Amino acid sequence: MFADQQALRACWHPVGFAADLTDRPMPADLLGEPLVLWRGRGGSVRVMSDLCVHRGTALSLGWVSGDEIVCPYHGWRYGADGRCVAIPQLEDPGRVPAKARVSAFAAQERYGLIWVALEQPRWALPEVPELEDGGWRVVRAGPYRWRCDAARQVENFTDFGHFPWVHPGLLGDPDRPVVPRHEVSTEGNVLHYSIVRPEAPNSDDFPVFGNEDSGPPTRRSRYELHLPYTIALRLGWGGEHGMVYFFASQPTGIHSCAGYVVIGRNYNFGQDDRVLAEFEDTIFGQDQIVVESQRPERVPFDLADELHLKFDAVAVAYRKAMRALGLAASAPVGPD
């Protein structure tokens, strides 16, 4: 039982950072489907299938003209709704057959990301007001492209047991490997849980957190895991300092994903954004090695697969909820 590629089409997924999208067409993969993203008139986001209906050429190799995208091979032009509006080879280029169209998809721009749903989405995006409040400093990191499914990447993010082992000195203390008690509650497509855990002091290399260096530091972490692949994590150290850690994984294919990190914080305004971004690069690099070694490359959602202990409560709740919502389903045995 694995993530159901069909059911995932009816969810919002990130496909790129909004700042990277201009009026130059950009390719992106979502659930094995090649997409082309571009900005049309007024900067509005357009998302279409990246296959020209004429000969299957990638429209992302073409260019944008007004509110149309032009195929690089024979110059057919497509409007925002995916309909071909001009075929230059015809004596009357406007006499376009009705079949000449490509699929266009719903898109929105939020939290500095472009989001796409391939079918009518079942749930709205999470609300993270801190990231839209001008008073918080926002830093982006990633995308982290891993050879595993998006569920493996999300579970890694939520896995408490690995911090001291994979990130010693940065996210965990090897002398304190016990996972504190935590409860998970599931409401609709959202898992809620929080934890107060011992953490490493701010390191000299990456002084990115809001805790003071003295005393045994603890951090309160309040998680919302929005199924299938989005997490809003709020960190606090008992004072005014707050950090919102927003993570969303793009299911590019069955065995591949791209993780986007958007972090907001109300302190350390003077710090160069690169400090936080390089910290994330380090953390995600450490995780990538172990996660890409996992087999199968995608999360098996049957609880009889793999061994779950009490401190894996989040993964258990995640796997149950994915199944209950129809986002995971039985798949044929064998590769892909």
**Which residue ranges make up the site for ligand FES (CB under 6 A)?**
52, 54-55, 57, 71, 73-74, 76
Q: Residue 318 touches which of ligand FES, Fe ion, none (CB < 5 to 8 A by kind)? A: none
Closer residue to Fe ion (CB): 33 or 287: 287
- Taking residues 266 to 305 in sequence order and writing x for each that binds Fe ion by CB under 5 A, - otherwise, the string is ---------------------x------------------
Give the three-state DSSP class for 169: coil
155 binds Fe ion (CB under 5 A): no
- CB 43 to ligand FES: min, Å: 25
Hey, what are 236's tokens? 């606090």
Distances (CA, A) of 202 to 74, 208, 275: 57, 7, 12
**Beta sheet of 45-49, edge-to-edge order:** 26-30, 33-39, 45-49
Taking alpha carbons only, the member of 314, 327, 117, 124 closest to residue 224 is: 314
Distances (CA, A) of 269 to 7, 203, 264, 273, 294: 41, 18, 10, 9, 38
Closer residue to ligand FES (CB): 74 or 308: 74
Closer residue to ligand FES (CB): 74 or 181: 74
Closer residue to ligand FES (CB): 102 or 139: 102
- CB 94 to ligand FES: min, Å: 15
Q: Residue 311 touches which of Fe ion, ligand FES, none (CB < 5 to 8 A by kind)? A: none
Helix %, strand %, coil % of the chain (to 5): 20, 35, 50
Distance of CA 76 to the CA centre of its chain: 33
Residue-level length of the chain: 336
- CB 1 to ligand FES: min, Å: 39
- CB 74 to ligand FES: min, Å: 3
Q: Residue 76 touches which of Fe ion, ligand FES, none (CB < 5 to 8 A by kind)? A: ligand FES
Q: Residue 287 touches which of Fe ion, ligand FES, none (CB < 5 to 8 A by kind)? A: Fe ion
Distances (CA, A) of 175 to 164, 180, 225: 8, 14, 28
Strand partners, 328: 3
Q: Residue 282 touches which of ligand FES, Fe ion, none (CB < 5 to 8 A by kind)? A: none
Which residues of the chain form contacts with Fe ion (CB under 5 A)?
287
